[in-house]
Structure 1
Amino acid sequence: MVDVIADLSSFSLEAGPPGDQRELLHLRARSAGLTFSGCAHAVFLCKLVQSVRCIIKSHLANRDSLASGGDGDLCVGMLGMGHMGKQLLLSLLEKSDIKPSNIKISSRRPELAVEFVQKGVECFFDNRRLAAWADVLFICCLPSHLPKVCSDLHSQLSKRCLVYSFTSAVPVSRLARLLGHDFILRPQYDFVACDTADVWLSCTRLTSALTDPVLIEASSPLTMGGGISLGLNWVCAVLYSLLNLCTSAGLGSGDAICLINNVLKDKWPHAVELHSQSFISASCASSLLAEEPFPWISLTDVQTKETPLQCFLSSSKSMQHCMSAAYKSLLETPAN
């Protein structure tokens, strides 16, 4: 998601439609829809990851695998404070339970984050320090800055750090090579012709828009509206991310499947249960012992190749309903 509109006031979420350019209104709607959906999906991911981490923590009381945050809380790093970075930070502060003290920003212009620093968010310019600290790292930089950013991050990321990239025009496979890291999520938004794109024009203020049931419905990943779509691979990658969290904590495959099923059933009781073969091939699943952790899953492969989970999810309407229900439930639940 390139920051091409950062200095264009007519495209800001707060701006009204330009009086003499109403034929371009759909561009403003598309811009608002991308910003809203990008932030909403990131908040959903963080809330889902935090839920799973809390369950793992209670399951494995004194294990060191979740000790990076000191108290087990999710540590979120943000690299870049342009238009998307600011909107994402506002969304996380308003809609998630992540404490400001558990969010850190690395930016070439720390002065842009003064209002957030006053709320308890730490801001500095040290990409390597951020990478070594974060559990989830959001990359919100321009494509032209990416080679330098990746050079800074290379070899600094722990295997369990989930990198989430908003940088457009850079495929996840290339990003994985640049970072030397395969635990990466990159949402791929596409545009489709429709008559409902103006639904996004109600995004006058992002934080209030994130409480609007109509917009939450329109941004639901598997059934997106308003002329924007998000591939099934993104939802699969989110679920594989949860599986990798269980693996990194040393959780056996039986407990990992049970944990993920319980998280989803808590949001939609009618969910079809996932099994080992939902994630890995039947031959691998048959030889996997219940007390043995799942193998580490490359999210790069998940987003570029056909997977057992993609086949399962595409054919299971029940699981699709479950993921939509989980998304709406987590977005509609107010932060504590």
Structure 2
Amino acid sequence: MLDFTENLSSLGFECGLSENEKELLFLRARANDLTVCGCGHAAFLCKLANSLREGIGLPKQLEDIDLPRSNVSKKGKYLTVGVLGGGHIGKQLVQVLLENTGLKPSQINISSRRPENLEDFVKSGITCYFDNRRLAFWADVLFLCCLPSHLPNVCAELQYHLPKHCLVYTFLSAVPVKRLAQLLGHSFILKPQYEFVACDSVNLWLSQGSVAVALKDPEVIDASCPIAMRGGLCLDTKWLIGLLYSLLNMYTVASVGSTKALELINQLFQLKGPGTAEFTINSFVHSSYVSTLTPDESFPWINITEAQCKETPLLYFISKNKVMLDCVSAVYKSVMMGPGKNETGK
């Protein structure tokens, strides 16, 4: 049916704004920018982690890092993703995970104060409930999408109950990562740190409908690339450092030897061929530790909170290798532009 109101500007949102209010319209673009890029970078992590998990299967030796066996023995080889919070950000993130990452609904659980409002997700096969501890115990990656006002209660509930192998990814920008680590009693936390920068145009972030649809647009994917973002937003390089160390920790959980882990992570980022700078043991750990690490021995467990706050061997290595950054950028675009769902769509 033809929409006769489509080109009637008098019915548009901006029409009812005063001149002073119109000057603040850029804030709407900024909010969209943050949501699209935040969900895009979270999806990138999940796609990499899911590929990693499928490639290595279940952990073989859990004693060294004190992981509860019952938590991993029932989940199979696939990544499990928990979303804590069923509000605007939580719903947008889940839609992106479903449509843009290839994750099956059975790989996603949501804990929300109002699970009855998530009926559409339940129909798609996602398990929804209100039990934050259950979610944390089940998930390999746990996204914090709750309101800032709910964070104290959430942290009090989860404190010292998070399995060591569970990566907590926070969307709460106002809480420093070290403070969040104290509140949760947990150090495996990844926090993107975004900053707004001067930009001629932000219309890119207003031209799409849902976030999931936006992240299928090659121009949006290119603009949201964490290495070279455009459109008025930039991301601290230490997010990439935290992401890489997080992937390394996942290999440690699976008791993958250091030599094999390096081979797999170089494959993951397609670091092969002339002109590329492959990761080595020295890229991740201090030279004093390298001589004591045997090929079959896993990398040591990395404190991700500290890795985002201090100078690390990996930060030094990345900052000195532009080719490496170009490879990571190319992988982001390739991964995000790839097919979203699997053939079954389940």
Decide: shared fold, TM above 0.5. yes
Q: CA deviation at 1:268?
A: 8.9
Letter in 1 for 2:29: A
Change (3 A) 1:110 1:307: same
Structure 2 contact 258–294 (Cα < 8 Å) conserved:
yes
TM-score (ref. length: structure 1)? 0.90
Structure 1 contact 79–137 (Cα < 8 Å) conserved:
yes
Q: Which residue of 1 aligns with 2:8?
A: none
1:28 aligns with 2:33: no
Q: Which residue of 1 aligns with 2:247?
A: 242
Q: CA deviation at 1:155?
A: 2.4
Q: CA deviation at 1:287?
A: 2.3
1:301 aligns with 2:306: yes
Q: Which residue of 2 aligns with 1:327?
A: 332
Structure 1 contact 17–25 (Cα < 8 Å) conserved:
no
Letter in 2 for 1:199: L
1:276 aligns with 2:269: no
1:191 aligns with 2:196: yes
Q: Which residue of 2 aligns with 1:202?
A: 207
Q: CA deviation at 1:68?
A: 4.4
Change (3 A) 1:319 1:308: same
Q: Which residue of 2 aligns with 1:118?
A: 123
**Structure 2 unaligned regions, length at least 5:** 1-10, 63-68
Structure with the greater alpha carbon radius of gyration: 2
Q: Which residue of 1 aligns with 2:41?
A: 41
Letter in 1 for 2:119: V
Amino-acid identity (%)? 53
Q: CA deviation at 1:156?
A: 2.0
Letter in 1 for 2:206: L
Change (3 A) 1:46 1:69: farther
**Structure 1 unaligned regions, length at least 5:** 1-14
Q: Structure 2 matches for 1:307-318, cutoff 5 A?
A: 307-318=312-323
Higher helix proportion: 1
**In 1: Cα distance, 2:159 partner to 2:46 partner:** 23
> 2:145 pairs with 134, 140, 144, which one?
140
**In 1: Cα distance, 2:232 partner to 2:257 partner:** 41
Structure 1 contact 267–325 (Cα < 8 Å) conserved:
no
> 2:91 pairs with 80, 86, 91, which one?
86
Letter in 2 for 1:235: L
Q: Which residue of 2 aligns with 1:159?
A: 164
Q: CA deviation at 1:91?
A: 0.4
Offset from partner CA, 1:234-254 (integer Å, 9 cap, x none): 001110011101111111111
Q: CA deviation at 1:71?
A: 2.4
Letter in 2 for 1:18: E
Letter in 2 for 1:36: V
TM-score (ref. length: structure 2)? 0.88
Q: Which residue of 2 aligns with 1:11?
A: none
For 2:142, what is the secondary structure of its paired residue?
strand
Change (3 A) 1:68 1:39: farther
> 1:18 pairs with 2, 8, 14, which one?
14
Structure 2 contact 159–183 (Cα < 8 Å) conserved:
yes
Offset from partner CA, 1:48-92 (integer Å, 9 cap, x none): 0011111212xx797788944532111111110111101001100
For 1:324, what is the secondary structure of its paired residue?
helix
Q: Which residue of 1 aligns with 2:237?
A: 232
**In 2: Cα distance, 1:16 partner to 1:40 partner:** 28
**In 1: Cα distance, 2:36 partner to 2:170 partner:** 16
**In 2: Cα distance, 1:316 partner to 1:165 partner:** 28
Structure 1 contact 135–160 (Cα < 8 Å) conserved:
yes
**In 2: Cα distance, 1:142 partner to 1:193 partner:** 28
